[in-house]
Amino acid sequence: MKYITAKALENRIIAPGFGRLLLSAPLSAEQAVPGQFIMMKFWQGTVPFLMRPFSLNSVDPEAGTLSILYKIVGEGTKLLADLPLGSDVEVLGPLGTGFPLSESMRRIAVIGRGVGAAPMRFLAERARQYGIEVHAYISANSEEHLFDKAAYLSAGCSFTGCTDGNINVTSYFAEDLQQMKFDAAYVCGSKRLMRDVSALMDQYGFEGYVSLEAHMACGIGACKGCTVPVHTEDGAEVYARVCKEGPVFPVKRIV
């Protein structure tokens, strides 16, 4: 994978502390699959020293664009929020393994929380292109933090949003499972959501996949700084790199 220079086409604050970046990166957009991520450098000099990882929120291969949803939390994302339009952005990617998605699937669920649910939109949009029925279950602290609600509805997805902290968004999925058969469920943004989906898998027998988040230094598996314990097929525990073997794993592989 080569480093490329992308161009910042849009960069706007969509809610206090959250932004959306649109990049022109035709080669990356052509190759990307849902669940992958990119490493970016959008500042001059060596401070910060390391590139920053960002999941792909939406991709348009025909337009050659990547959409990035981000939360302003540290030095890197504060610089990103101030990035002027037309700026050059150094990009490495797409990287990692994506969500398994088959055109033979009939119905899937995408489940996430807050900005951690960013990869779910790309997955839902790609699934709809395959003619797959998509049910999205997204939770957030407030209605304005259900950032991609309009995009899900525009793509023809069923959308259930939850902003009540006393209700688990997976409870809505559990209700639908009593009436509908799902081929797979995909989850991101919370370990609790992953545990809930794992329990529902045991009960209803669908496939389950999770996108993990981790601090990354290189994004290509060289530094081994983002390892997590996983199960092998024979039940042993080993370490896998989130950036290389992941970020997407079968739910049942996670220790």
pLDDT digits (tens, 9 = 90+) for 164-207: 989 999 999 999 999 999 999 999 978 899 999 999 999 999 99
Query: And the tokens for 45?
Result: 């000099």
Residue 173: which region, alpha, beta or left (left: phi > 0; alpha: psi -120 to 50)? alpha
pLDDT of residue 47: 83
Region of poorest pLDDT, from 28-42, 43-57, 59-73? 43-57
Q: Please identify which residue in the block is written with the tokens 């779910």.
A: 120
Rounded Cα–Cα distance for residues 111 and 123 (Å): 11
How does the average pLDDT of the chain come out, rounded?
A: 95
Average pLDDT (146-162) is: 98
Q: Give the pairing of strands 133-139 and 248-250.
A: unpaired
Q: What domains, with CATH codes, occur in the chain? A: 3-95 (2.40.30.10), 107-211 (3.40.50.80)
Helix segments in the chain, DSSP class H: 26-31, 75-81, 118-129, 149-154, 170-177, 191-204
Strand runs (DSSP E) across 16-73, as ranges? 18-24, 37-41, 52-55, 58-60, 65-71
- Rounded to two decimals, the pTM is 0.95
Structure-token match 């049910």, residue found: 135
**Contact by Cβ (8 Å): 3, 90:** yes
For 208-230, what is each residue's pLDDT tens digit?
999 998 889 899 999 999 999 99
pLDDT band at 235 (very low <50, low <70, confident <90, very high): confident
pLDDT at 71: 97
- pLDDT band at residue 98 under the 50/70/90 scheme: very high
> What pLDDT was estimated at residue 189?
73
Q: How far is Cα 3 from Cα 118, in angstroms, rounded to an integer? A: 23
Q: How would residue 1 be classed by pLDDT, with cut points 50, 70 and 90?
A: low
